[in-house]
Structure 1
Amino acid sequence: TRALAKIARDYGEVMSLVEATVAANERQKLKMVEKIVGALGDLHNKTLAVLGVTFKPNTDDLREAPSLVILPELVKLGARLKVYDPEGRKEGSWRFAGIKDSLTWCESAYEALADTDATVILTEWNEFRNINFDRFKEIGAGEYFFDLRNIYDKKSMLEKGFKYYGVGV
């Protein structure tokens, strides 16, 4: 969408609908941050597990990824981040260099989840669909679960004892 808008501008054309879509997509990313803050309150002294930073699963590409907006905003609000992405660490290391003091790269989802206040899923990698929730309490993962890809069923997550927040649910 953003590429189409740029091509139109390059040719001196205005594509209002496309431009409005781009702006709406950017607002949605900030709304996700608002959802997290609304549930957790002050993010100072809070550690969040972030699962996935790439713009889609099965790639190492972060271009246009929601994480590029969401992670810096969370850090700006005081959060510390433990991040895991199966393929996104190399590109993410330089893309998130400006927040590196508040971000720890982890080698697995469970390492990222350990001793955190909340989980934030930003990319729907298959391995995130198969998290062993019995391990959550064992490793000190928090009860707040922000599923920004809606890969889990809200009802079943609530039954497991999570404070579940999806998109549009």
Structure 2
Amino acid sequence: MGGISLAIGSRSLSIVGFDEFKMPRIEPELSQERSAYNTFVAYGLAYEQPNLWEFTPTLSQTDWITLQGIYQEHMKRRRFDSTDDPRVLLTDTLQLFVEASPRTREKAPAPNDIEIIQGSDVAYYAQFYVWFVKPPEIAGYGWKGNVRYYTVSVAFEECDEKVIA
């Protein structure tokens, strides 16, 4: 079963429980931009739009604290005086990333390092550098036996730089 893994510094978290039936990675919308003459820009953007992730996992209290630690570390590293890399490494083993060959991103580590080549396209579980779009928010909570669980709203946007080997 696939999931989303997050890592920054010495902190890491694997998320496998999702409370919704849509995939976490959202395809960027097509550009609907217009020129100064109010005509559509037919060729689109000059750069690749970033991938987005928005999902609502169910986390144990321990995992919720770890996610908060990842967010706090990310925010600490984003400060102007920090020399540490603020990017969070997101490994998506839930949804194959499909693009024209050759690959532009690093594959997920084993055992999820598959690569499917079909014609001129390649599909694989990929790694991405991301930023938090907003702080993780608790959308609900409950108990399963003696363990407290949180339903959390999380959103990320891919950074400009890609994870490459």
| Max Rg structure | 2
TM-score (norm 1): 0.24
TM-score (norm 2): 0.24
Higher RCO, 1 vs 2 (CA within 8 Å, ≥6 residues apart):
2
Q: Counting strand residues as a fraction of each chain, which structure ranks higher?
A: 2
Q: Counting helix residues as a fraction of each chain, which structure ranks higher?
A: 1
